[in-house]
Amino acid sequence: MSTQTEQLINRTALFLGLLIRCWYYFLNDSFWRDESKILLNIAQRSWMQLLQPLDYGQVAPFPWLLLHRILYVSSEGDELIMRSISFLIGITALILFQRLVQSYFSDKRISLILLSLFAFSPGIILFSAQVKQYSLDIILSVWLFFRIMLLDSKQKNNQPIRILIMLALIIPWLSFPAVFILSSIGLGMLIRSNTRNSGLLLLLITVVSFLIEYVLLFKPGRIAAPYMDHAFLQFTWSGFYQTLLNIYYGCFGPLFDTFPGWALILSLPFVSLTILGLWHLVHKHKWEWIIFYILPLFLAVFSSLIDAYPLYGRTMLFAIPGLFMVMGEGLLILLSMIHNRILIWSVVGILLVPPSVLSVITFGKPVMGVRDGLMFISEHIQDQDLIYCDFYAAATIEYARIRHKEWVRQLVFGWDVEQRVEGKATVAMISHDIYEPLRHPDRTIWLICETRSYARERWISPLEYWQILIDQLLRSRTIIRTLDSERVQVICFQKVCE
């Protein structure tokens, strides 16, 4: 393959990665419940109150919250404005990752495959247009690995080391999992004789900075036990593959939530390449790079053991750049053993086709959410009608109300919506009053619920108490209107005329 052809394919992969991120951003989906819960904190708190533990089971870095607070007070807090930071970070992360792989791997085929994988992985794309901090975790991870590479190529220049040490005071305040990477960098530098003192200093500063942050911000607002995931401690096949899918969530995104069996099968080539890459690094005695790339994963798992870090797919996205670099080492070995062009293209297809197809399916079309469900209700609702929202839709509805959306504020809800935002109420707490709508036998009842996962596929799965309520209403009413979309379901019940 000529140099010009390689450059053309590389630029095409980058362009398509940027294009799908722009497309997904401008689809302008309704806020999802996790976005709405963090936005409720941003909207209802003062600047200094954002330093206090957040409500609704949310945890986010203060600078990230502050920046979104500025966006909120200077705008109407709508979807495109509030997601703009994640969008810009996602685009920048893709460009920076291109520089990383092109600088690290001399084999341009490896850098092209890894760039394409980063460009088309659904889990990475998903959070480039969500009001969540995970895109910031990803770009800081990429940037730190890029600094390590500069450190490795400029051993006689102390400037990269000084920059890392200075930023160790700041980065843990921007991204909670970045402390795992910084600690791993410090430990890896201890192995090298020429960076041993600097590595010790970096490790010390990182630990001190994180402890200050943990005591002041993270520990008081520690995620509640129901949000912690210890599936790997079950020592069962189910617990094993759930943990595995959490680690590789960036490659398959929402598929993990909806079809874990398929995600497990599709993840096997990635796991195999990771193992092969680790073997290659061990064979070349690159112990510090193993520490740089893999130790952050083990630190995250250990933190989960002590209930200090939730082990979910989205919280593990910070590890994806390091995993991709290890997979690149595995590809070096694999491609060196394969000389048949058809087999090489088969390897490329096995790696790139599933994430690419999933991205097209997941982000290829508009998907209705709670915002659209509320608009549907407002267009058809009559006086005296009552609306009841489920456990998951409550956060988005409440955020729409405090944004002074008049058409939302005029809707009459049978339950106190704010008390049903997940994190403040539990299913057990609100199950006892599922019969409250039945106390209004002559009024038309609207129900609105949201899917429980991030998925943009048709996967409405209401909670048990919600299904009980629907069954009870059907005993005395008939359904006259419905809106059944991928992420929201609206049902209107009217009394049966005798």
Domain ranges of the chain: 3-30+83-363, 370-495
CB contact at 8 A, 202 and 165: yes
> Does 156 or 174 have the greater pLDDT score?
174
Percent of the chain with pLDDT over 70: 83
Average pLDDT of the residues in 400-425:
72
Q: What is the pLDDT of residue 428?
A: 59
427 has a pLDDT exceeding 60: no
Question: From CA 276, how far away is CA 281, in angstroms rounded?
Answer: 9
Looking at the DSSP bridge assignments, the partners of residue 483 are 490
Q: What is the pLDDT of residue 226?
A: 45
Buried b (16+ CB within 10 A) or exposed e, 42-54: bbebeeeebeeeb
Place of tokens 């920076």: 96
What confidence tens digit (pLDDT) does each residue in 177-202 have?
888 888 888 888 788 766 677 777 77
> Does 136 or 179 have the greater pLDDT score?
136
What confidence tens digit (pLDDT) does each residue in 320-375 have?
999 999 999 999 999 888 888 888 888 888 889 888 888 888 888 888 889 999 99
Q: What is the CATH topology of the domain spanning 370-495?
A: Rossmann fold (3.40.50)
Question: From CA 470, how far away is CA 452, in angstroms rounded?
Answer: 17
Provide the 8-state DSSP code for 281: H
- Give the three-state DSSP class for 425: strand
Backbone dihedral angles phi then psi of residue 488, each to the nearest 5 degrees: -145, 150
Question: From CA 190, how far away is CA 206, in angstroms rounded?
Answer: 14
Going from the C-alpha of 11 to that of each of 5, 116, 288, 360, the distances in angstroms are 10, 10, 32, 19
